[in-house]
Amino acid sequence: MADDATPQDTAFRLGWEEWVSLPDLGLPALKAKVDTGARTSALHAYEIEPFGPAARPRVRFMVHPVPGRSDLAIPCSAEVLDRREVTSSNGETELRYVIQSEISVGGRTWPIELTLTDRGTMAYRMLLGRQALSEDIVVSPGDSFCQPSLTYDVYHSTRVREVAPDRTLRIAVLSREGHSYSTRRLVAEGEKRGHVVEVIDTTRCYMTINSLAPEVHYDGKRLPRYDAVIPRIGASITPYGTAVIRQFETIGTYCVNGSEGIAASRDKLQAHQVLARHRIGMPTTAFAASPKDTGNLIQLVGAAPLIVKLLESTQGKGVVLAETKKAAESVISAFRGLKANFLVQQFVKEAAGEDIRCLVMNGRVVASIRRVAQPGEFRSNLHQGGVAEAVRLTKAERETALRAAKAFRLGLAGVDLLRSSDGPKVLEVNSSPGLEGIEKATGKNVAGSLYEAIEKHVRPEPVRRRAARRTAG
């Protein structure tokens, strides 16, 4: 410091109102009132809700960063530091959550404590109290905005992703099975990473379909804008489920699995046609509409034994092994009598009641298991009593799985294949693969990998690296 410099010259000056940003919370621009009469700083938040493990509780909340713009809501989450009674200027005492965040003002960044309170009517979304002001900060009560201005425009552009790379993501799991292992794991793992995860019953979503403002509604309210949607669409609701996802896609929401991929992979006939178009190995498969062609159908696939499969089978329920030509003919005529859609397929005998499930996420196989059927059973589905164990894939199997997931443009896919004497043969591609069997057999955190993939997609790479360096240093 030069000898003639007065403390006033070198001091960091704040007016009674200043632009600040809270980068940890994903709030790049806020107007704060500087209030030396208040000890602690406060952030006006709503839907304040604790979550996460009891040993390290977190709190999530929503912030309207721009006064008067209740349509713009940013989800935030932070570790709970404390709960404290705070008396506000109107004399009311309230038990508030206390969190910590970095604050940036005019190129300076330092950590501060913030209490969370729902006072949405206040003109300032943030109050900067004296505890947050270090010795060398001078407040000039007569001045406004001594430090450079920021702009609310960042909230209206994709730039918010770049300026707030570590922000909490708001994620919807579209599922009708809130209590299933997979859904519970998706919620727990997302929350562990600080995200706000909501389970939405697909069949309770309803939509306004119009050209200017398409929306998705739920339980009387318009759904917020999610950073990502994780579809878990059961086979019984494929048409409606894919319609809901299509609506999210129309709004521009990132869906881990797209509506087209889900629909195409769900229908076994269409799925085999997509696989064939991409020259992916599969058992020879045939389909015919007329009963007159039953003989021709069997001939196309080869000799018995052969497989007859309902197009919308899951858990192995609609898969029949016909040992003889006679048996095949009677199964086919029974299915026709029931007006069921089916396909006829070459039986891959050498697979010997085993199949391989490869879990593919954004172009990577994150886990794979071998499922072995019970003695005397050719179907290896876990629901049919099959047992699972971790397995190492060959290079050809890995490539086949990746190509199959890519053919349907699925961000998350369970690719099932058989080990045949002439290489891997894909049986099907599941767009809502169960997590229980594969996590338990491999010990891998598959749900965690999914969030890694989502974060990578939603937060641009270079910014994420910069953010990682900042936390490391």
Q: Which is nearer to Mg ion, 27 or 319 (CB)?
A: 319
Residues 6+ away with beta carbon under 8 Å from 48: 59, 60, 61, 97, 116, 118
CA neighbor of 123 nearest in space, from 37, 32, 45: 32
Helix/strand/coil for 401: helix
* Number of Cβ within a 10 Å radius of residue 188: 15
Q: Is the dihedral of CA 284, 287, 288, 292 positive or negative?
A: positive
In the list 36, 147, 180, 314, the residue contacting ligand ATP (rule: CB under 6 A) is: 314
CB of residue 312 to ligand ATP, shortest distance in Å: 8
Rounded least distance, CB 355 to Mg ion, Å: 7
**How many C-beta atoms surround the C-beta of residue 238 within 10 A?**
18
Bridge partners of residue 19, in order along the sequence: 31
307's contact among ligand ATP, Mg ion, none, with CB below 5 to 8 A by partner kind, is ligand ATP
Identify the residue among 25, 320, 348, 407 touching ligand ATP (CB under 6 A): 348
Residues found in the chain: 473
How many angstroms separate the CA atoms of 85 and 78, rounded? 19
Which of these, 109, 129, 137, lies nearest to 41 by C-alpha position?
129
Question: Which one of residues 351, 401, 405, 417 is an interface residue with ligand ATP (CB under 6 A)?
Answer: 351
| Beta-bridge partners for 360 | 365, 413
The only residue of 227, 397, 428, 439 in contact with Mg ion, by rule CB under 5 A: 428
Give which of Mg ion, ligand ATP, none residue 155 binds (C-beta under 5 to 8 Å, depending on kind).
none
Binding segment toward ligand ATP, per CB under 6 A, in 25-33, 156-164, 314-322, 328-336: 314-322
Considering only residues 48 through 87, tell me which ones interact with ligand ATP, judged by CB under 6 A: none
* Cβ pair 439, 428 in contact under 8 A: no
| Shortest reach from residue 388's CB to ligand ATP, in Å | 11
Interacting partner of 379 out of ligand ATP, Mg ion, none (Cβ under 5 to 8 A depending on kind): ligand ATP
Q: Which residue, among 60, 32, 29, has the nearest Cα to 47 in the 3D structure?
A: 60
Cα distances (angstroms) measured from residue 390 to each of 276, 359, 367, 418, 446:
28, 12, 8, 15, 13
Cβ closest to ligand ATP, residue 18 vs residue 355: 355
Minimal distance, residue 235 CB to ligand ATP, in Å: 8
Binding status of residue 99 toward ligand ATP by CB under 6 A: no
| Binding site partner of 385, from Mg ion, ligand ATP, none, Cβ cut-off 5-8 A by kind | none
Q: Please report how close the Cβ of residue 356 comes to ligand ATP at its closest, in angstroms.
A: 9
- Residue in 40, 182, 381, 442 binding ligand ATP, rule: CB under 6 A: 381
Q: Least distance (Å) from ligand ATP to the CB of residue 290?
A: 23
Stretch of 108-116, 163-171, 340-348, 402-410 contacting ligand ATP, by CB under 6 A: 340-348
Q: Is 101 in the site for ligand ATP (CB under 6 A)?
A: no
Task: Name which of Mg ion, ligand ATP, none residue 434 binds, using a CB cut-off of 5 to 8 Å depending on partner kind.
Answer: none
SS3 236: helix
Binding mask 395-434 for ligand ATP (x = CB under 6 A): ---------------------x-x--------xx-x----
CB 449 → ligand ATP: shortest distance, Å? 21
Contacts to Mg ion from residues 289-348, by CB under 5 A? 314
Asked whether position 378 contacts ligand ATP by CB under 6 A, the answer is yes
Of 19-27, 35-43, 94-102, 305-313, which part binds ligand ATP (CB under 6 A)? 305-313
Distance CA 218, CA 223 (A): 6
Q: Cβ closer to ligand ATP: 261 or 316? A: 316
Residue 416 lies near Mg ion (rule: CB under 5 A): yes
- Segment near ligand ATP (CB under 6 A), from 209-217, 221-229, 309-317, 457-465? 309-317
* Piece of 36-44, 123-131, 189-197, 412-420 that binds Mg ion (CB under 5 A): 412-420
Answer yes or no: are the C-beta atoms of 408 and 433 closer than 8 Å: no
Alpha carbon 204 to its chain centroid, in Å, reads 19
The pairing of strands 228-231 and 221-222 is: unpaired
CB of 283 to ligand ATP, least distance (A): 4
The partner in contact with residue 348, picked from ligand ATP, Mg ion, none with C-beta cut-offs of 5 to 8 angstroms by kind, is ligand ATP
Q: How far apart are CA 156 and CA 170, in angstroms?
A: 17
Amino acid at 400: T
Burial 29-59 (b: 16+ CB within 10 A, else e): bbbbbbbeebebbbbbbbeeeebbeeeeebb
According to CB under 6 A, which residues from 146 to 175 bind ligand ATP? none
User: Contact 161/71 with Cβ under 8 angstroms?
Assistant: no
Tell the burial category of 312 from Cβ atoms under 10 Å away from its Cβ (0-12, 13-18, 19+). middle
- Site residues (vs Mg ion, CB under 5 A): 314, 416, 428
- Site residues (vs ligand ATP, CB under 6 A): 283, 307, 309, 313-319, 345-348, 351, 355, 378-381, 416, 418, 427-428, 430
